[in-house]
Amino acid sequence: MLSDRLAIVDGGTVRSEGTLEALKAQVDEKYRVILDGDLSSLSQNWNRYVKVGGKHFTYFKDENNAVELVREALKKSVKAEISPITLEDIFVKTVGDGEE
């Protein structure tokens, strides 16, 4: 809301810049699923994930695949939520995926 253009900086180097819409367009995935709990009961047919604290963030191009993972997780008592990607997600995808 405060800026027309953004820059993603990693170690003093500008890795990407542009409007929020332009930065989102640079990332293939458009949806994220956050899982919290024991993932061993899940089918593991989903993408790589980023682990932040005790939560696992995974990203999807297709909303249906993201919803499918959330349904499976909830059936197996794993906390799960889905949302469109955020600026924070764009940063993570731009500078590196962290733990896999």
CATH number at residue 79: 3.30.70
Q: How many CB atoms lie within 10 A of CB 19?
A: 12
Residue 91 has pLDDT above 90, yes or no: no
Confidence tier at 71 by pLDDT (50, 70, 90):
very high
Question: What is the value of pTM for the model shown?
Answer: 0.77
Give the domain range for residue 39: 28-95
The answer to the question of residue 12 being in a domain is no
Residue 37 Cα to chain centre, angstroms: 17
Q: How far apart are CA 43 and CA 61, in angstroms?
A: 19
Residue whose structure tokens are 């024991």: 38
Mean pLDDT in residue range 1-25: 89
Residues in the chain: 100
Angle (CA) 33-39-45 rounded to 5° is: 65
- Residue 100 binned pLDDT confidence (cut-offs 50, 70, 90): very low
With respect to residue 46, please indicate whether it lies within any of the assigned structural domains: yes
Structure confidence by residue, pLDDT tens digits, 15-49: 999 998 899 898 899 999 999 988 888 887 676 78
Q: How many domains does one find in the chain?
A: 1
The least confident of 1-10, 29-38, 58-67 is 1-10
In a domain, 66, yes or no: yes
Contacts of 88 (CB under 8 A, 6+ apart): none
